Structures are given as C-alpha cells and as structure tokens.
Chain A
C-alpha cells in the first residue's frame, strides 16, 4: 500500500461513507495509486451489487439440519468427557473379554477336540455379551445406547459419518496414532520435523514441537511436550476444533 496516503479515505468515498470527501477527492487527483484503488473498489462493488446473495434451497436446508442433529444427537455442548468415559468403558469391556477368554482357555484347554472348541467359543461369546451389557450400563442411558449402536455401524457408515461416528473411527485407529506419535517423538527429538507456526490450540504447557500432519482421513496437529529437546509426551489434536484425539504416554 502507498506509504504516504491513507487509501482508506478513498475507499470510504467509493463506499459512500467518507467523512471528508474533499480530502478523498484531493487524494484521487494527486495520487495515481489512490485513484486506481478508488476505481478498483468501484469495479468490485459494482460486480458484487449485480449478483444476488446465494442461499440454500429448502431441501439443502433440511439436509443441513438433519445431518447436523444426527451428528450431535448423543452429545451436549457442555459434555466434553463422555467420549473418553465411554472409551475407558470400552477398553475395560474389551479387557473383560480377553480375561474371560483366557480363563476359558486355561480351564477347558484348547485343541482338545471339537467339543472343547465349541465350549470355548460359546463362553467367549457369553463374556462378549456381558461386556457389551456392562459397556452400555457404564454410560448414561441415551448416549450409551446411541454410541453402542455406533459400534455396530458398517465400515461405510464409519467412513461417511461425522461426529460420534467419526470419534469412534478415530478410537479404533488408535494403533495408527500410536505409531504416528512414536515417529513424531523420534523426529521431534532429532529436530527432524516441519515446525508449524500457526498452531491455534490451547495447551497447559508450551509445546516443544508442533507439526501439522494427515493421519488417515484426518488433519491433525502433532504436538510434543518436554524439556531441553527431550520429549516426555506426544499429543494429537484435531485441526478442525482442537479436540484431543490421542496422547502418548
């Protein structure tokens, strides 16, 4: 921009909002750049004025509302820990299945013939059902029920769904995030990463290193914490809303 003249004055004149039109007109007369800025803005405003405001069709509006509420159905804006509680419950339930299956294997033996194999499968299925039930009970009834249904979603639904479906998909991508976090820890300690200067998320301590990355379909911030080049932990945040996705350890 021109260093000597206040182009805002000629812009205000073009917008019909000048508080000192005489001065603005003087600038247009004596300053070629000001005159060009004035003409540019008139041209842009004229083009914009010729076009109506875009709006959604009623069908699109209905779709927007339907999809939005379908995405937020299990949550309330104030509830931020439900997802994690659910995940903890999920892990506990999965552990119960493993322990239960291990008990069956230990006590009934494996490979002892078709009968024992059947018993093992049946016992594991029973444990699985009990774990499912515990999982549903461990969360509030509405959210638990809906999220439990999410677990039964098809891969296609997980791919296309937003909100809780997306979170569920991310939860099951935990192994990927662990590998990504491990890799970033190594690279951050070696200084071998692309530093991001526009990291917008609030963190309790100042990050040691931040890099923007893509994991699967998700855009994420990789954030390393620690001191003196020594990484103590790595967190992964969603670039869209800074929600935490993964933390290691």
Chain B
C-alpha cells in the first residue's frame, strides 16, 4: 500500500531527526487516533490527552518501528495502550456522584460538542460494554480495520478478536434494542 510505504519513509526521517516528517505523520493520523481514543475513553478531554500522549510515545519510539506492520497499525497499538493506561488511572480515581437528574442517554446531559459527535444511543451502548469488547468493536467495526490488524494492535490472537467481536456485538446490539434471546 502506497500510504504505508510513505509512512515508513516518514518514520525513518523522524528517527533521523526530521521533525517536519513527524508533523506530516501527525496530520495524516491525528483525527483517526483521536477518534479511537474518544470512542474508547468516551470523554473528550481524556481523548485529547491520550492522543497527545500517544503521539509523544510514538515520537520517542519511532526508531523502533521497523515496518513489519503498517505505521497506522503500530500507531494504533500505541494509542490503544495509552487509552488503557488512562482507563486504569480513571478506575482508581474517586468519582464524583452524578446529579440526580443525570441521564447518560440525554445529549443535553453531557458535553454538547461531544453529544453532537457521538450519538447518545451508540455512545451509551459503547459505554455499557467491557473495555476489551469496546476496543475490538471500535477498531474493526468503527475504524474498519481487519481482524488481523486489530489483533496486532491489541496484541492478541485473531481468534480472540473474533470472540470479542462476537460477544461485544451481541451486548451492543442488545443495548441498542436488538434484544435477541439466544436461549
């Protein structure tokens, strides 16, 4: 794929100290990285922080990118790991109680900008499934990556991704209204 070859050359330039090449890589990938982070973390500020951290790590580690996978796969792996770190930190942090009238399905309840971008039904449904299922669904169903690429990014076997997709889609569909009882 031409894009991957270009990205590999850009990554090599970055490793040799060419910062403008990193700027180009950022501009090519920052929206998708942000999209992945936003869907995994479900919070705009956290997603922006994670995007920044992911690119910072990518900049520091770009010399380790050997082109075995596409640059975007490698970058997504960095981003997803960064999001997992943010999630772990979130879970340890004490949370403030929500106001009594808070309704997560109500777009007016959250950040209006976020509500405009993440439809409340899908956002709430994604929030209702386990992190590992959500990551698989975000990468494959939302971002359109292959099972193989998602497996590389999440560092699990292809079969694990398929299993997570299967279970995650089942839960997501049930939340979204397709309450199929499999018996």
Contact = CB atoms under 8 A, between A and B. Distances in A.
Interface of A: 1, 7-8, 11, 32-33, 36-37, 39-41, 43-45, 47-48, 50-57, 60-61, 63-65, 67-69, 71-72, 75-78, 162-163, 200, 214, 219, 239-241, 243
A16 B113 CA distance: 33
Q: Is the interface of A mostly helix, strand, loop or mixed?
A: helix
Given A1-B163, A48-B142, A55 B15 contact: no
A195 to B, nearest CB: 17
B35 A67 contact: no
Nearest to B55: A68
A22 to B, nearest CB: 22
A39 B166 CA distance: 11
A76 B61 CA distance: 10
Nearest to B22: A77
A54 B111 CA distance: 13
B145 interface: no
Interface residues of B, number: 56
Given A1-B163, A162-B56, 8 more contacts: A7-B162, A44-B173, A72-B60, A75-B60, A77-B59, A77-B62, A77-B63, A243-B60
B182 A33 contact: yes
A240 B53 contact: yes
B127 interface: no
A64 B173 contact: no
Q: Is the interface of B mostly helix, strand, loop or mixed?
A: helix
Given A43-B177, A68-B52, A219-B88, A54 B35 contact: yes
A64 B51 contact: yes
Contact of B31 (A8, A41, A53, A76): A53
Among the interface residues B52, B57, B81, which one has the most CB atoms of the partner chain A within 10 A?
Answer: B52
Interface in B26-61: 26, 30-31, 34-35, 38-39, 48, 51-53, 55-57, 59-61
B172 A54 contact: no
Contacts of A37: 166, 169-170
Interface string B75-92: 000000110010011001
Contact of B60 (A77, A200, A214): A77
Given A37-B166, A219-B89, A71 B56 contact: yes
Contact of B119 (A47, A68, A69): A47
B122 A52 contact: no
Contacts of A162: 52-53, 56
B180 to A, nearest CB: 5
B37 to A, nearest CB: 9
B48 to A, nearest CB: 6
A69 B19 CA distance: 9
Nearest to B169: A40
A67 B118 contact: no
A43 B176 contact: yes
